Amino acid sequence: MSRPKGGTNQYHTKEEKLALVKRMLAGESGGSIEKDTGICESQIHKWTKQYLEGGESALENKRKPGNPLLKYTRKKHLTPMEQLEYENLLLKRELMKERAKCEVLKKLAEQ
């Protein structure tokens, strides 16, 4: 069962995942856990595998980086410190682009 189009992803805490994994390891079937919680059986199996391979730390949610400039572009007025941080990020982005161009040119020159 997939989520409806346009719906949002669900995020479960490490504690929620661990509780479900422990139920699974205790012998409860994935189908019965799915009926109780509404979480897909295959997802519970995936978490169980992650737990067995990496322990509790494998169940932690990985933070997605996102766009670091977004928090500055949404504000109408920036403090002087925020303006400097924003300019710094823009300059870092430009520097990365220029470095990438240099790498391409080096590779072309080697050919």
Q: What is the pLDDT of residues 28-67, one digit of tens each?
A: 988 899 999 888 999 999 999 999 999 988 888 887 777 8
Give the percent of the chain with pLDDT over 70: 91
Taking the model in full, what pTM does it have?
A: 0.54
Q: pLDDT category, 11, cuts 50, 70, 90?
A: confident
Residue 8 CA neighbour count, 13 Å, CB half:
3
Q: pLDDT category, 106, cuts 50, 70, 90?
A: very high
3-state secondary structure of 29: coil
